[in-house]
Amino acid sequence: MKYTLANRSDLPALSKLWQQCFGDPYSYISGFWAASFEHIQVYMAQDGNAPIAMACVLPTQLIDEEGESHSCGYVYAVCTAPQHRGKGLCKALMEHIHRSCGFQYAALVPAEEGLFSFYEKLGYKTVFYNREYTVEPKKGAKIRTASPEVYRSIRELQLYDNFLSYDEYYLPNGGSLYRIETEDGLYCACAYKEDEELRIRELLPDSPQAAAALCAYLDCKKAVVRTIGEERPFGMLKSLKGKPYIQTGYLGLALD
């Protein structure tokens, strides 16, 4: 088995593996590669020349409570071809990433609750939390779409310590980022519609009023809000260079 970094010639095979494992449309996968491939590390396990497991590592920054920045690889799209599961390939690939990626920390969001215990065995600790709630639509804010640059600037003003900071090219474009202004303040939200329901992946700072206004603006019957808080385990962190762990923090914009 060979563990290596992918290059552009591997993308067709990796896209096929991604689609097989996650079911995402090729339009999403190709859009991700187009926006991010030159900025990230893509690791794969190869059986011969065919990739049978993969993981993307996105460079981010972990901002600690002193305001200091630490390099952190956000591990995303970890998968193994169904016919090769149960052979330890994912564990071996992750261990190769930990040795090779060069970051001070690695962070990830388990795709399902049962995977928290799997990643704990690889040395990850649950340190990122959030909260979720539901609101109904109610007008009462000035809202407009935001560019990734504008969104990031508002986001960074709202977060103070122990959070993951993303560069602009990881932020979704095409109308899913919003700037919300109410009588109480300025907010940013990343949201998308699922039929008549609004999924707010991030709202900063927390404001049910802003969430309800965005729900009304996008003509949805309700909004499921994900925001800062310590109620729900969400993401995990691993120290790769002997750096101390944070106790709790905020990861936010998981690429789910």
Q: Is the pLDDT of residue 22 over 70?
A: yes
Q: Are the C-beta atoms of residues 59 and 167 closer than 8 Å to each other?
A: yes
Q: State the pTM of this model.
A: 0.92
Taking every pair of Cα atoms in the chain, the longest distance, rounded to a whole number of angstroms, is: 61
Cα radius of gyration (the chain):
19
Gap between the Cα atoms of 102 and 26, Å rounded: 30
Gap between the Cα atoms of 80 and 97, Å rounded: 15
- The domain limits of the chain are 2-108, 130-232
Backbone angles phi, psi at 50, to 5 degrees: -95, 130
Gap between the Cα atoms of 32 and 30, Å rounded: 5
For residue 110, the model assigns a pLDDT of 94
Residue whose token pair is 């709790």: 248
Over residues 116-136, mean pLDDT: 96
Q: And the tokens for 146?
A: 């935001």
Q: And the tokens for 245?
A: 């762990």
For residue 48, the model assigns a pLDDT of 84
Single-letter code of the amino acid located at 158: Q
Q: Is the pLDDT of residue 45 over 80?
A: yes
Partnered with residue 44 across adjacent β-strands are 4, 54
Work out the pLDDT band at 171, boundaries 50, 70, 90: confident
For residue 255, the model assigns a pLDDT of 64
Over residues 67-88, mean pLDDT: 95
Q: And the tokens for 240?
A: 């790769």
Mean pLDDT over the full length of the chain: 94
Work out the pLDDT band at 179, boundaries 50, 70, 90: very high
Share of the chain above pLDDT 90, in %: 84
Q: Is the pLDDT of residue 256 over 70?
A: no
Enumerate the H helices of 148-253 as residue ranges.
148-158, 208-217
Read off the pLDDT of residues 53-74 as tens digits, 9 standing for 90 and up.
999 999 999 999 999 999 999 9
Closest by CA to 54, choosing from 114, 2, 103, is: 2
3.30.1330.10, 3.40.630.30, 1.10.1060.10, 3.40.50.720: which CATH number matches 2-108?
Answer: 3.40.630.30
Over residues 73-94, mean pLDDT: 95
Read off the pLDDT of residues 183-198 as tens digits, 9 standing for 90 and up.
999 999 999 999 999 9
214: left (phi over 0), alpha (psi -120 to 50) or beta: alpha
Backbone angles phi, psi at 105, to 5 degrees: -135, 160
CA 244-245-246 angle, to 5 degrees, is 120
